[in-house]
Structure 1
Amino acid sequence: MAIEPTSLGPLLTRLRVPLTLTWAGMIAERLVHAFWPLWTLCAAVAGVLMLGLHEMVPVDIVWALLVAVVVLFAVFAGQGLLKFRWPRRAEALARLDAALPGHPLTALSDRQVIGAGDHASRALWRAHLARMERKAAEARAVEPDLKLSRKDVFGLRYVALLGLLVALMFGSVWRVGSVTEMGPGGSGAALADTATWEGWIEPPAYTGRPSLYLNDLDGTIEAPVGSRVTLRFYGQVGALSLSETVSGRTEDVGAATDPDQSFDITRDGEMRIDGPNGESWQVTALPDAAPTAEILSDGMKTTFDGQMSQPFRAEDDYGVTGGTARFTLDLGAVDRRYGLSADPDPRDPIELTLPMPVAGDRSEFVETLIENLSQHAWAHLPVMLTLEVSDDAGQLGQSAPESMKLPARRFFDPVAASIIEQRRDLLWTKSNGRRVVQMLRAISHAPEPGLFRSDTAYLKLRVIMRRLDTLVSHGSLADETQAEIAEALWDLAVLLEDGDIGDALERMREAQERLSEAIKRGATDEEIAQLMQELRDATQDYLRQKSQQAQRETDEPDNRELTENMMRMDSQDLQDMMDRIQELMEQGRMAEAQQALEEFQEMMENLRVTEGQQGQGGESPGQQAMEGLAETLRDQQGLSDQAFRDLQEQFNPNAQAGESQGNQGRSGGQGQGQQHEGLDGQGEGEGQQRGGRGDPLAGDSEGSLADRQEALRRRLDAQRDSLPGGGSEAGEAARDALDRAGRAMDGAEEALRGNDMAEAIDRQSEAMEALREGMRNLGEALAENNETQGGQGQALGQFGDQQSDPLGRIPGRGGQVGTQDELLQGEDVYRRARELLDEIRRRSGEGERPEVERNYLRRLLDRF
């Protein structure tokens, strides 16, 4: 019930402030509850107009939306007016009284009805009123209820306010007036005279071509197929229009006067903008050619263990992104006899991912596919190889199919070869299971002594045969068990084939005898080529097992490295001789080929004799001379490293000695790498022995760089005077090379005394190169005089090979730099190459590095 203010009298004067605030809160509450849809609509429309969103849609839609907004505005305004009631002062007083305990304002407006004539009753009534007045004096303004969650369950008011806030931050109030220009009577006629446009052509990213700004171009334009054309029309809608024949669009084609135009160039044609400041162009679409691939026959090889190396070439105008090698069985070329007479089980083609260049241009490159398919069911069967490459546009290109036999490992042991053949028949089709069991039973029945290498191998074959027999008898030979049996047969064949080093040597001898007999009886070229390949494989197998045996039997790291170097040289010499034999046979010079084969056999005999002589006797004078020169070369390298560090520190004077960033030479102080300063790098014991004689090379503290260079030159003079191999051409060449090294050392000494570090480094490099040449010549002289252990072919293998180049390659025979190590093989080669490139890029961007070093790093990046 409302309280009449007139009944309260002077109390209202004291309650004027809280009563007024409560009344104002009621007004705000009723306005919010009645008109919240209206102000939500106004906020949303204002945000849209200030952001200019109306400029992005056609004018017809804009006007339709404006009409809808006006209608909604009228509806929401009418609803608000019907709901809104202006609050009276009595209603505000009642709300204030309801917020007080005991409703004191209501009590003060009451009158005493009973006991008005009783004195005590009137006293009690006055005390009651006084207490109510004290409570009323504590009145505070009542907060209005502005919550709309029950009415706006979707929070539309917050969405509208957020849009308005974004418009105030990123929009402009001046855009609101642009809506008047979108209809009749606006300023569209004036804008028609100032209509303008902008346009771009963006070629596909993979082409590497720059974007074209159409406003700067006229006449003829060349752009790759797939380029994106974007046009923007400004001014009155309809003042500018587009006509084009380059996209070939037939569907979803908008109006020619749309402010935004986007399409792709797919063919030659014309593009024209009609209207004020219009322009036209003749567009030539540059086609994206499909990539191509080619299988290269040169360089194709298969190692003794069946690893295939297949070179290929790929090309594309913008770059190849990937490729696949697909091997499919050439069933028509298969010799359908014995186990291959039955129809084969379905088997998917072999698909291998082609390797791509890690860095550089992919528009044209040559790579090598390396894979071992020896355990596949199609091993040594006719297949068709097809390469398929793709580019960024998704185009595919294929090579011409190449007919070949699937490269795989060859088995020379008769039992191992028979087991591999039965494994092939089992994988050909599971219906061959009964036949394979019979063949394995025939192989293992009452074997002759020595047919199987061990009882273990024989028992393994019997176990495999019985299990296969059981599976076939019960009809339970599934794909999984077929694969398990095939794996067991492979392991058994490898066990029988590899055996020990004696078996490998015997197979190599047998291969030599078969090839010699074939040459004598005039066998066909195909048979001789096959026997030659068998000899190569048997020789590789023998050398591999010999190397493994040497590694097992050699405990000392130095001896192990020496043995590996000797084996590497043995392998290279044997390969060179076999290449010579094959070349003679291809030329039809069979007599010379027979003689070369006999020399090959003699070399193998010498190799076996050398095996028994290794480790016997001391070092010859030639060996001592070679070791002394190698030590001199190492010391010269150490001096050159320190000279280079001093040169770096000239460019970085704030760094302490040895702390130049990136220093990785020997004796680097704070740098990284092996110590190589004088003789300290040779080990503690040797350094103490040499240092005890006062050698200036013994350390930094015993002489300047120039003094140490002079001492090293004197040592070289003494070594040259005692050099063996005199009288031979190679020996004289070695002395001449050491003379040049001495003169270069003299020049380095003079440059060091003049503090010309750059000149000193150049002279030291010449000295090292001359030293290496002298060592190569000395090795040839020792080989000619048969002074090194093992005769010819090992001088360089034992000593000349000890000094590797920065890539880890070992100098070969005759001083030829090369390596038998497969430096580019391994699963992590691509990851490692990327890491190296990233490290070079990082170092080239470090400004504190010397300019000479950063220039060198930039040249590396330009090259790779």
Structure 2
Amino acid sequence: MVWERGARAFWPVATILACLFAAFALGIVAAVPPQALLWLAGMALVALIAAAIRGGLSYRRVRAVDAVERLDRTLPDRPLAALADRAAIGGEGALWQAHLAQMQARAAQARAVRPDAGLARRDPFALRLAGLVALAMALLFGGAAQMGQGVQAIAATVSRPLAGDTGTAVGPSWEGWAEPPAYTRRPTIYLNALPEGEVLELPRGSAVSFRLYGDGVTVTQGIGAAVGDDPRAPGFRADASGVIEVAGRRFDVTVLPDLAPLIRAGAAPVRRADGRLVQDFRAEDDHGVMAGRARIDLDLVAVDRRFGLAAPPEPREAVELALPLPRGGDRREVSGQLVEDLSRHPWANLPVTLVLEAVDGIDQTGAAAPMQMVLPGRRFFEPRAAALIELRRDLLWSRENAGRSAEILRAITWRPDGFIDQPLYLQLRGGVRVLESGPLSGEARDKLAEALWKAAIQLEDGGLADALERMKQAQEKLSEAIRNGASPDEIQRLMDELREATDAYTRMLAEQGERDPAERFTQNQGGQRITGDQIQQMMDEIQRLMNEGRMAEAQQLLEQFNRMMENLQVQQAQGGEGQQGQGNPSMNGLADTLRQQQQLSDEAFRDLQEQFGEGQLGQPSERGGEFADRQRQLREELGQQRGLLPGQGSDLGDQAGRQLDEAGRAMEDAEQALRDGDTGGALQRQADAIESMREGMRALSDMLGQQDRRQAGEGQEGQDGQQPEGQPGEGPRAGSDATTRDLRPMLDPLGRQMDGNGNMITLGDPLAEGADPSRRARDLLDEIRRRSGQRERPQDERDYLGRLLERF
């Protein structure tokens, strides 16, 4: 009842206050002309006072008798009032007692009364709801700055001198701001606070704005074009150095030049095993790079104009690719790597020109020197598939090649028995009919090119991609069933389905491996074969874990199995290209993962520094999710490399595996720390992962060195018919310097293998080697000295640091 009476009396006051707050917070007060602002403010004040007086007069205090009366009105026959009555005549006999008992029973049914202020009847136009909406809008979209401007506007209106008043005006007659472009990350300058005579330095494109309060105040300037047409709020853009004058105040403005961005390409573009283009780049700008792109044009002069390329090419637009840039942070110096799949482009495997461009905040463009290259594309080793891809290239080059392509396609499909499956044969013969049916339209040409691509993939892979996809789907279904706690029968059914899909996939791999002399499909990176027995053993182990109810372990082993089977498909593409570069493929893959991990750690550290500089340390990073996703991808790549690590069963091979397992666990902890916003903890775990990977690579390098020396020794024995030195079975003599020199690995003072053995740790990458030992030692000593001099550290810690200094 207190709330009801208060709401009835003071809802007009609350509505007026909500509207006034919204007018201030949304900047409505500051936008009202000064001539009308004073009148509106007075009317609002009068309305507020009148509503408050009306509410105070109409409000009545709630008494206990009022509450009883309110409750009694909700009950039949008013039992609370009846219980307070006394019999006027006849005394309080049995009838009277029965009446009281009846009233008591009805009074016992009393319940709390729902409040009802009746505002809908008192406010038929729903003004209270309009005030509530205005208040909500002000809380969502308003701000303290707008409220301050409104208060200043009212204060300036109230303090304006009256007519005939010759006194000094209170407050400034103008205000000015200079706002540099957002990409410069410079703060807004309040011109009134600028010392007299100080030169105003502004980046090009800065927005200069004024608000004029006094009559006769004008702004004259010579630095740029005007923006807006409000004489009370003039604005303009700073494009050239000059002078600004306002109300007798002079500002000398110097516009700082904005240099065009610079961009440089890294090493020559490379082609990954899956046919993707990989291009490193570095870009810089004085205020930050806003965008980047790569432009690829056909290098027609360098094209070998023979066969299907002899005809004039049809015009085709250049390829433009966006360069990956960090979402936030400092973009004055950025480095990245463009990875793009252009295997299906008509210019794939043809000479092209690559130009990298960078754009800054005012659309200035900087370009790197053009690079001549062959646009990477997928390589096809199956002769028929390679022929179809060449036909596809010729058709996309020019539709004048339609007749020639039809003849070649007829030759490919001649006598298909035993060479081409019937469905594929029918598709290719349909392509012949399309080519010979008449002029070829652009749409028909593109559809035929897509059909030729799919046919080449089918011939090259022999359905391998479909078999792999079926195996992935079966694995995903089984994983989901284990996570959701499905019934044993359902899990067993899905396990049988996975077995069938895996058998079909491995059988197809084996068939292609028998046809390929290079045996590129079944060999892993270390030269070891993944046999069907090993796959079957892994499937049996998954089955055993599920039968024992150890679903978590079965799920983990299932994920490892899936990564291993996917790696077979990766090796199918890698093996046909031979060994590119130096060193062992396992070392190359680990070095690449290590390099990416170091880059991710550096970016996370820079993000932490930015948080510290902005005073946001301890708050979740905006890029935490992005860093966590990249960390997960690196962990999965390391898991694939761990599954195909050579030398399993040997001491050094097992040691390398353990180190990589430690690195994987550290990566997983780092990923979780990044998702939790603990960037500092993530950096520590990333450092542990980097160190573990280095140790694992060193162990792998030692193992590969032993294998090379053993193979060299066996080769020498096979040529000479005897061992190199000493008696049979005794190995090399202790005194044989030549033999020792040949078989002993070249090690540096820290025990790391040096260049020349073909199994270098990093293949020229200093990340795997670690920092320079002498420099690292000096840095550690400097850090120990610094910490030992900090008095706030515990005495025990400083004593320990002192003992370290005495020893080293």
TM range (shorter): 0.3 to 0.5
Answer with 1 or 2: which has the greater Rg.
Answer: 1
With structure 1 as the length reference, what TM-score do the two structures score?
Answer: 0.42
With structure 2 as the length reference, what TM-score do the two structures score?
Answer: 0.44
